[in-house]
Structure 1
Amino acid sequence: MANYRRRRWRETMTVRVDLNGLLAAAVGAGGLAAEEVTGLEPELARVRDELAGRRAAGALAFAELPHRHDDVRRVLDVAAGVGADVDTLVVLGIGGSALGTRALLGALGDAAGGRRVIVADSIDPDAFGALLARIDPQRTLFNVISKSGETAETMAQFLVVRDRLLRELGAVDYKQHLVVTTDAEKGVLRQIVNDEGFRDLVVPSGVGGRFSALTAVGLFPAAIAGIDVEELLAGAAHMDERARAAAPLADPALALAGMLFLLASAHAKPIVVFMAYCERLAATADWFCQLWAESLGKAQDLAGRTVEWGQTPVRALGAADQHSQLQLYVAGPRDKVVLFARVEDHGVVVDLPTTYQDLEGVGYLGGHSLGELLNAEHQATELALAKCGRPSATFVLPAVNAFTLGQLLYLLETATVAVGALAGIDPFGQPGVEEGKRLAYGLMGRPGFEASRVEVEAWLARKDARFIL
């Protein structure tokens, strides 16, 4: 029986959120007073009921992902069908079609028996050209990911890859080296799949890119890398079940969302730092930055009023960034909340030798381990912030495995949507991103976007040469 099916193991691997560092009792005036927290509960109950209603109506698709078992079986079937001659998967995607996969691979990608997975989310010609030059098309599978099929960067990569595969493998065999992940019914990529007969996987309706890590977008590359995707989803389901059984202030995602919302809206904390004390979670911090920024950075609320709401996410890595960013967080503007991620069991023990015992500046380290030192650095940093009135919270992972990572991703997604509900904004749209796409289409000559090209050219013509130095 898999470990995640055992209740006692699930309990030992439950991810916790320590919110003490957000409270005034810990950090003084920079934190939340007890009456603010208790006064938040009715609003959190409202948000909980609102989200539950949307979920019941099928309008909160990401929330159901841990329970879509047929989707997982399809992913595993396609992964099992990848020939033994393939030793590398190259993911062609960008934004939410890449960052979730990077998070999964960064945390879990060293699985025994897994194949090499490369996420190619750059259209820098030097970087992409170098990648293509060093891979063997005969031994490489390409996973093209775009729900709309209109992502210019991904489609450009696809055109280059398809052309090379056609030339080197022929018009029949090249199709075996492509898997397309896209919308089930519509879009340019769906049309191409239908016309050319590529193997395909589906992005569920209603799930946007930044919420797609637990769909085929992230699960297929993860499965190829040897990650237990069923355990990953079991972890997400565990967090979902915990939340639904708890009171609002005992729901990890809802309580975190409420406190971060209060700190942003009532305590002038417009920046949130995600600082993982574990290199395997560094890519999770990158994924979180897109999730938080793109979901919550909105010009208008749901009533159409201008609010320009948002909390700017920043990625940091402990302990390295104690020596590059921490000075700002401790002594700079009081405009930040720090979210730590701490791992209790790092999985590897590297002992520190008892050497130079006569040198007090070094000898004290002997007899400890690198994991002890890293976790001590986290606790010391948490207190250093608190002593200066700077709020923080900590995600505590018993270990880094598929089960705990699934919990963390689902918790952060749910918290993001809950903050959106508290702020009265739509966490699922991204109109600011769409504007940039429209202008780029015009510059590249896409039919129907001629006015966009004119707009960009007029902007460039208005630039003052005196200030181009």
Structure 2
Amino acid sequence: MNWERFKSLYYTNPKLGLSLDISRMPFPDDFLTTMQPKLQQAFADMAALEGGAIANPDENRMVGHYWLRNADLAPTPELKQAITSTLDAIKDFTAKVHKGELTAPGGVKFKEVLVIGIGGSALGPQLVNHALGRLKGGRDKLRVSFFDNTDPDGMDYVLKELGSRLKQTLVIVISKSGGTVETRNGMLEAAAAFKAAGLDYPKHFVAVTGAGSKLEQVAISEGWLARFPMWDWVGGRTSELCAVGLLPAALQGIKIDQMLAGAAAMDEVTRKKSLRDNPAALLALMWYWATDGKGTKDMVVLPYKDRLLLFSRYLQQLVMESLGKELDLQGNVVNQGIAVYGNKGSTDQHAYVQQLREGVNNFFVTFIEVLKDRNDASLEVEPGITTGDYLQGFFLGTRDALSEKNRHSITITVNEVSPRSLGQLIGLYERAVGLYASLVGINAYHQPGVEAGKKAATGVIALRLKIADALKAAGGREFTAETLAALLNQPEKTELVFKLLEHLAANPAGHVKKTVQKPWHESTYAWQE
């Protein structure tokens, strides 16, 4: 590669301990200059956002996740007080748990945490849990597990892992509205497990939710151990640095002040209007160039560090939920978005790098390099060579191998994985997403597609209840999917009726017996007690 180009485009900030290399994105010489007008508008949009402008018109909400790491930026004294008092409450609660002043019934000290949430209420906490657990060879103060789906088998797996330790488990239920079905289901499953074990579950449960939500009402009426706020101006995908992520992280023993400081330091740097001094602006412009401002290529995230394995999953929601929009700000159909996927190095050498190098060229790569291998000296696996040297060798070799085939890449380098550096990465990508959204003229802070999916799921559940009622009323009469759909006056939903019947027949609680016939669509279903 061209050393002169590298020198001219390499961003490095020793104070942050972070560098950004965009030299392997072969944009034309005038690209950064021609994008200046759009970029200055993006800076103005971001300043308005941080100042408290309504950024989510669908719900008439501000978007204030930047205030979480610098409460002085909050537009009102009341919001500043809410942020600081919640952080104090998290620290106080955590200290009491760690000291054994706050215990489970019978004076049993809490040693486990079960987090129940989905989407942003799980992805951020899972990333932090995996990235920062047992740092520097230490032990976590509490071990963290997750219910992050409504999969019964998945919940059984976690509960079996906890086993007899359920009596020393603190449960954090996270839902802003309190009506998120997956989270409610997990809460009910966990409560049932506690009751089956003869445990008083409200004395183990904590809520992170919105004021007046269904979940808060349940927590109050049942006398849960504690409640922490989740504000309507913090979106799920940007909620890691509020109680959603800070509470489980603090209980695990992670230094949350350092995470907040890292994000605040990145915010300060990425407010700069000088492009060459702003890594988030550089990142957003590279996304714009790589995808023609239309999402024409995928973003492949390859962290060369096991601790950052979940970073691509975290970014999937942050990037795709923020940027995947049908309409622009003027109401035009644009179908925007950037698909994100990833693995880790050097695992990816043995997975999909073959296609990245020689297959369809429909992507750009973001490599994440971590300079520090471990805290102690590493074993030499060859004279003068460690396992960490090989890890870097695979990263650099893979990057060159892709460049040889005109496959473009960005490299982000951090000194180490720490609470501060992870906070910086979270802040960097939050800012880049906001800037990119402005560049392409979309709203990054609403998610109508997610709501549409929830409404569709509600309709499926309603049909499932109608099917069960119809079969039960028929008293053992057998139906094909087609005849049952006709009975329900919904022949247009025959395929859906078939899928629901198959699920009911596969589970004892469904009370449906299937009689297999040939051809398969002539199979019949009947109610059985």
**What residue in structure 2 maps to residue 236 of structure 1?**
263
Q: Partner of 1:271 in structure 2?
A: 298
Pairs within 5 Å for 1:72-111: 72-82=87-97, 83=102, 85-111=109-135
Give structure 2 stretches of 5+ with no counterpart.
1-12, 54-61, 72-83, 104-108, 468-488, 500-517, 522-529
Give TM-score scaled by structure 1 length.
0.86
Matched residues in 2 for 1:67 and 1:93: separation?
A: 26
Query: Do 2:176 and 2:231's aligned partners in 1 also have CA atoms closer than 8 Å?
Result: no
Larger Rg: 2
Q: Does 1:67 align with 2:70?
A: yes
Deviation at 1:71, TM superposition (A): 3.0
Q: SS of the residue aligned with 1:444?
A: helix
Distance in 2 (alpha carbons) for counterparts of 1:433 and 1:232: 29
- Number of equivalences: 434
Supply the distance in 1 between the matched residues of 2:363 and 2:396 (Cα, whole angstroms).
18
CA contact (8 A) 2:279 2:428 kept: yes
The Cα of 1:400 is off from its aligned counterpart by 0.6
Whole-angstrom CA distance in 1 between matches of 2:171 and 2:492: 34
Question: What is residue 30 of structure 2 aligned with on the other side?
Answer: 35
User: In structure 2, what is the Cα distance between the partners aligned to 1:467 and 1:445?
Assistant: 25
Q: Secondary structure at the match of 1:309?
A: coil
- The answer for unaligned runs of 5 or more in structure 1 is 1-9, 25-31, 355-365
1:14 aligns with 2:17: yes
Q: Identify which of 397, 409, 415 aligns with 2:432.
A: 415
How many angstroms apart in 2 are the aligned matches of 1:434 and 1:346? Answer: 43
Task: Classify 1:326/1:467 alpha carbon distance in 2 versus 1 (closer, same or farther; 3 Å).
Answer: farther
- Cα distance change of structure 1 residues 267 and 89 upon mapping to structure 2, 3 Å threshold: closer
1:273-329 CA-to-partner distances (Å, cap 9, x unmatched) read 010000100111210111111111111112211111111101121111122111211
SS in 2 for 1:72: helix
CA distance in structure 1 between the partners assigned to 2:520 and 2:40 by the alignment: 53
Question: Contact (CA 8 Å) 2:113, 2:169: kept in 1 or not?
Answer: yes
- Which 10-residue stretch deviates more, 205-214 or 240-249? 240-249
Change over 3 Å in CA distance of 1:151–1:377 after alignment to 2 = same
- Equivalent residue letter for 2:384: G
Bigger mean CA deviation after superposition, 342-351 or 294-303: 342-351
Q: What's the offset of the Cα at 1:260?
A: 0.5
| Change over 3 Å in CA distance of 1:344–1:12 after alignment to 2 | farther
Structure 1 residues 114-123 or 128-137, which shifts more?
128-137
Q: In structure 1, how many angstroms separate the alpha carbons of the residues matched to 2:332 and 2:115?
A: 39
- In structure 1, C-alpha distance between the alignment counterparts of 2:295 and 2:443, rounded to whole Å: 21
Q: Report the equivalent of 1:53.
A: 48
Contact 2:295 2:336 in 1 (8 A): no
SS at match of 2:335: strand
Aligned to 1:369: 386
- 1:152 paired with 2:152, answer no
Distance 1:97 1:455 in 2: 38
Q: Residue 106 of structure 2 corresponds to which residue in structure 1?
A: none
Helix, strand or coil: the match of 2:253? coil
Taking the aligned partners of 2:391 and 2:326, their CA distance within structure 1 comes to 40
**More deviation, 322-331/228-237:** 322-331
Residue 252 (structure 1) shift? 0.7
Task: Check the 8 A contact 2:172/2:205 in 1, yes or no.
Answer: yes
Paired residue type of 1:316: N
Which SS does the other structure have where 1:429 is aligned? coil
Moved more, 377-386 or 312-321: 377-386
* Shift, 1:438, TM fit: 1.1
- Opposite residue 328 of structure 1, the aligned amino acid is Q
In the TM superposition, 1:418-437 aligns within 5 A as 418-437=435-454
Deviations 1:4-33 (A, max 9, x none): xxxxxx9455222221121x2xxxxxxx11
Corresponding residue for residue 359 of structure 1: none
In structure 2, distance between residues paired with 1:197 and 1:446: 35
Is the 1:204–1:215 Cα contact (8 Å) retained in structure 2? no
Counterpart residue identity of residue 406, structure 1: G
Any conservation in 2 of the 1:298–1:309 contact (CA below 8 Å)?
yes
| Contact persistence 1:268–1:335 (CA under 8 A) | no
Cα distance in structure 2, aligned partners of 1:455 and 1:72 = 55
Structure 1 residues 264-273 or 303-312, which shifts more?
264-273
1:292 alignment partner, SS class? helix
Which deviates the most, 327-336 or 186-195?
186-195
In the alignment, which residue of structure 1 is the partner of 2:74? none
Between the aligned residues of both structures, percent identity stands at 31
Aligned residue identity for 1:351? L
Q: Is the 8 Å Cα contact of residues 109 and 222 (structure 1) preserved in structure 2?
A: no
Q: 1:296, 1:310 within 8 Å by CA — same for their partners in 2?
A: yes
Q: CA shift at 1:141, angstroms?
A: 0.7
- 1:351 equivalent in alignment to 2:379: yes
Q: Does structure 1 conserve the Cα–Cα contact (< 8 Å) formed by 2:41 and 2:438?
A: no
Decide which of 456, 460, 463 is 2:496's aligned counterpart. 460
Bigger shift: 260-269 or 302-311? Answer: 260-269
Alignment TM-score, normalising by the size of structure 2: 0.76
CA distance in 1, matches of 2:452, 2:519: 28
Shift of 1:216: 0.8
Letter in 2 for 1:192: V
What is the RMSD of the two structures over their aligned residues, measured on CA atoms? 2.7
Greater RCO, 1 or 2 (C-alpha within 8 Å, sep 6+) = 1
What is the aligned counterpart of 2:417 among 386, 389, 400? 400
1:191 paired with 2:217, answer: yes
1:137 aligns with 2:137: no
Query: Which residue of the partner structure matches residue 361 of structure 1?
Result: none
SS at match of 2:371: strand
3-state SS of 2:301 partner: strand
Could you tell me how far apart the structure 2 residues matched to 1:416 and 1:467 are? 48
Q: Report deviation, 1:263.
A: 1.7
Match of 1:209 among 233, 236, 246: 236
Please say which of residues 11-20 and 395-404 is displaced more in the overlay.
11-20
Q: Which secondary structure does the structure 2 equivalent of 1:412 belong to? A: helix
Cα distance between partner residues in 1 of 2:301 and 2:494: 39
State the one-letter code of the partner of 2:118.
I
The yes-or-no answer on 1:340 pairing with 2:367 is: yes
Q: Is the 8 A contact 1:299 1:307 kept in 2?
A: yes
Residue 329 of structure 1 aligns to which amino acid in structure 2? Answer: L
Match of 1:387 among 379, 404, 416: 404
1:328 aligns with 2:355: yes
Does the 8 Å CA contact 1:45/1:248 hold for their aligned counterparts?
no
